[in-house]
Structure 1
Amino acid sequence: MRTEVVGAGGVRIGVRVEGNDSAPAIVFVHGWAQSAKAWELQFADPELRRRFRLVAMDLRGHGSSDVPHGGYDDPTTWAGDLASVLRFAGEPAVVVGWSYGGLVITDYLRVHGTRGLSGIVLVGAITEIGRNHPGGLVGPAMRAALPAALSDDLGVALPALTAFSEGMAAREVPGPLAQALLGTALAVPPSVRGALFRRDVDSADVLAAVDVPTLVLHGADDAVVDPRAGEYAAGKIPGADSRSFHGVGHLPFVEAAEEFNTSLLSFAEQRASADARTER
């Protein structure tokens, strides 16, 4: 089912909802120049659908969400958008952030703390952005794509985004999926693709204050977000668990979908059980 919620500043945020409406929620936050469609293999997983309410948002400027002129450099904007989705999904929820989605979660933490969160899963994620911020280290595929991937000239942007899409995975992915990733990136306006990079964010204190269980998942061969960015987040967040997927790139939820879904299911079930005991 597709619906929408009202995010910060009245912006409409597209949301996909599947699974068990009476169960605890898992909220998925996608990465730069992608959409909720990225989580197709999680929404198709029978156990995740049976045990949880699955909610995936389209970031502002992406997918079916509104494309406002501004707000992309403001942590309170991203925090407000995610807060609206969490209220819709049902709190407390496990929130899963891939790539830039990890920075959106960090923005939420900066403004709201861990209110409404049962647990956090960071997937090939950045938690910082800008020069000399270790939580935002990127890999060769990302460096090679910029700045051309931000251009409004199709002749410049298309080759860069094509190479970037191909560089996301370390394992072969089905052709239709590869084309869908590229098509989704092209559908994001160049102005939005660029706006997301015009930030300078340090998150050391924010990560150190996290007081809910956190799982950090990263492909060992990620060429988009350097695995050291994941290691940094795992080292800053108290008690965080981490797992590296060997031979996997920036798409562990696609390249190693079965392993990824098993890890996510186990983590979310642990959090749901803990929350149920607390409510008694």
Structure 2
Amino acid sequence: MALLKTDCAKNVYYEDYGSGSTAVLLIHGWGMSCRAWDNTLPALLAAGKRVVLIDHRGCGQSDKDFADMGILAIAGDVVRLVGELGLESVVLNGWSLGGAVAVEAADQLGERCSGLVLTCGASPIYVQKPDFPAGGTAEDMAGTLAALTADRVSFLAGLAQAVCAKDVGEPIERWMWQVFCSASPMASASLAQLAPLDQRAQLAALSMPILSFVGSADVFVDPEICRWVGQNNANARVVEYEGVGHAPFIEVSEDYNRDLLSFLADNA
């Protein structure tokens, strides 16, 4: 079991497949774990990539009792892990809230980050801003956090059923629910940080190649947010899947893996 000792002496779980100084680092979404990438990992390994996966603080097999479970703290763990593994070049792929983590980590890594992938990424914003009407509302976020507190297990069951727009079957929905439930209840602190999040200037200024995956039927991250990336960074391009929800790597895994590997062929 591979563990990264963080700056607060608690442990973050990670997996490291392959060898070499270049890797693809996969960052899961809120409340999930690195198991979210189980349809992606085999394809990357078959293509000869070194792959690193990390569990957020409070999620998966990482310690559950972190005092700080914020986006900046998780991004700091990613940067620390890149250093611990001696990676000279890394492509970061962040799903959902993991997209916000990946943007922050990419900014900190600078030239060591050779590419950035945002998979239905909650970046540059998640909650509407006065000059950016896409996304949810502050009231939506407050309601979500209140529902998590009032009846966490039932709320997470509904969440798992809504992740995918395509019919992926009850076993996958039940699996996602179980993974959500394994996260610490205190991981809601990470989710709450999406409300004030505004990475527009940061994301627009990144100089590495960027790929933004969009699900046109995504009910969690407004597709307009993901499209914004391609419209506001000259190094970015967008791949959109019609009728797909928040998890294209599950809903259309073959298409997703093909498009991800095409991007990686030039950048990893």
Shorter-chain-normalised TM-score: which range?
0.7 to 0.9
Letter in 2 for 1:203: Q
Q: CA RMSD in A?
A: 2.5
Aligned residue among 141, 149, 153 for 1:158: 153
Aligned 8 A contact 2:71 2:100 in 1: no
1:194-235 Cα distance to aligned partner (Å, 9 max, x none): 443145222121112100000000111111111011012222
Judging changes above 3 Å, is the alpha-carbon distance between structure 1 residues 246 and 113 closer, same or farther for their aligned structure 2 residues? same
Aligned residue among 206, 221, 235 for 2:202: 206
Given the alignment of the two structures, is residue 92 of structure 1 paired with residue 89 of structure 2, yes or no? yes
Shift of 1:8: 3.5
Judging changes above 3 Å, is the alpha-carbon distance between structure 1 residues 241 and 135 closer, same or farther for their aligned structure 2 residues? farther
Judge which range, 127-136 or 181-190, deviates more: 127-136
Aligned residue among 167, 174, 180 for 2:162: 167
Judging changes above 3 Å, is the alpha-carbon distance between structure 1 residues 159 and 67 closer, same or farther for their aligned structure 2 residues? closer
**Structure 2 spans left out of the alignment, 5+ residues:** none
Shift of 1:238: 2.6
Given the alignment of the two structures, is residue 38 of structure 1 paired with residue 42 of structure 2, yes or no? no
Q: Which residue of 2 aligns with 1:82?
A: 78
Give the Cα–Cα distance (whole angstroms) in 1 for the partners of residues 181 and 147 of structure 2: 9
Given the alignment of the two structures, is residue 65 of structure 1 paired with residue 62 of structure 2, yes or no? yes
**Structure 1 spans left out of the alignment, 5+ residues:** 273-280
Q: Which residue of 1 aligns with 2:244?
A: 248
Judging changes above 3 Å, is the alpha-carbon distance between structure 1 residues 55 and 73 closer, same or farther for their aligned structure 2 residues? closer
Aligned 8 A contact 2:95 2:120 in 1: yes
Aligned residue among 83, 100, 105 for 1:103: 100
Given the alignment of the two structures, is residue 268 of structure 1 paired with residue 264 of structure 2, yes or no? yes
Letter in 1 for 2:163: M
Q: Which residue of 2 aligns with 1:9?
A: 8
Q: Which residue of 2 aligns with 1:276?
A: none
Aligned residue among 143, 157, 172 for 1:177: 172
Give the Cα–Cα distance (whole angstroms) in 2 for the partners of residues 84 and 32 of structure 1: 20
Letter in 2 for 1:264: L
Shift of 1:85: 2.2
Q: Which residue of 2 aligns with 1:224?
A: 220
Give the Cα–Cα distance (whole angstroms) in 2 for the partners of residues 74 and 25 of structure 1: 22
Shift of 1:149: 4.4
Letter in 2 for 1:79: A
Q: What SS is found at the alignment partner of 2:70?
A: coil
Judge which range, 209-218 or 176-185, deviates more: 176-185
When the two structures are superposed, what TM-score results if normalisation uses the length of structure 2? Answer: 0.88
Aligned 8 A contact 2:122 2:225 in 1: yes
1:256-276 Cα distance to aligned partner (Å, 9 max, x none): 10010011111111113xxxx
Letter in 2 for 1:34: M
Judging changes above 3 Å, is the alpha-carbon distance between structure 1 residues 257 and 23 closer, same or farther for their aligned structure 2 residues? farther
Q: What SS is found at the alignment partner of 1:147?
A: helix
Judging changes above 3 Å, is the alpha-carbon distance between structure 1 residues 216 and 195 closer, same or farther for their aligned structure 2 residues? closer
Give the Cα–Cα distance (whole angstroms) in 1 for the partners of residues 136 and 40 of structure 2: 25
Letter in 1 for 2:80: S
Given the alignment of the two structures, is residue 146 of structure 1 paired with residue 144 of structure 2, yes or no? yes
Residue correspondences, number: 262
Identity of aligned residues (%): 26
When the two structures are superposed, what TM-score results if normalisation uses the length of structure 1? Answer: 0.84
Q: What SS is found at the alignment partner of 1:225?
A: coil
Give the Cα–Cα distance (whole angstroms) in 2 for the partners of residues 161 and 196 of structure 1: 13
